[in-house]
Amino acid sequence: MQQPFTKLDRIYQVLVATYGEPENHPDGDALGGLIGTILSQHTSDSNAHRAYRQLRAAFPTWEAVRDAPVEVLAETIRCGGLAHIKAQRIQQVLHVLTVRLEGEPLTLDWLAALPLAEARAFLEALPGVGPKTAACVLLFHLGKPAMPVDTHVYRVSKRLGLIGARVTPEQAHEFYDALVPPERIYPLHVNLIRHGRQVCHAQRPSCESCVFRMECAYSTAMPLRAGGSHT
């Protein structure tokens, strides 16, 4: 049996050969990234981006978002879905941050100076922030090597046998954090998502055109249809 790191290394190399090696360009706006990630939960990217734009246009500061009537905030972000729940969660996060910063302007930029484990622990202690949301903020906005395991990463990882069938998304975060070198976190995350979106779909994956078709447990277990693709 292959060692996990050996298999992961080979899959990483194939993904890079197929999709390239993307570079991370964090924007440094950790608090904006956190709010945007909360808005992205259980909705499409386009709806989440629209809700974020409307939020920033309606309120000049994060303090204004914190202090707005929750009904007004919910109406502003309604296009992002689950508006009242997300409005409450956003304000809860901003109130916790207000206490943490003792009245200083609201920001999460100071997380950049913390060790990864401490920054992650702070984020995951915030209301409604789990491992994936925390990892998104750390990776995309602060450039820290944390691996977000979204639905595409989770699905492809299980099908390729990188993680076991019973491994939870939370355990998958721990797996990647332990085995992936920091400089590979971002390219691996992006390329697993690309593979999930372009080839390894949740329904009717394009196994016949997959670069991993000869070693993927999902592909080899599925019979071919007459047209040459899996059902």
Strand partners, 224: 230
Q: Which of 62, 30, 8, 37 is nearest to 187 (CA)?
A: 8
Active site residue 7: no
- Chain centre to alpha carbon of residue 116: 16
Q: From the candidates 86, 132, 144, 158, give the one annotated as an active-site residue.
A: 132
Query: In one letter, which amino acid is 157?
Result: S
Q: H or E stretch including 64?
A: helix 62-67
Give the 3-state secondary structure percentages of the chain, helix then strand then coil, rounded to 5.
65, 0, 35
CA distance 181 to 166: 24
Return the SS3 of 224: strand
Q: Which element (helix H / strand E) includes 198?
A: helix 185-198
Catalytic residues: 132
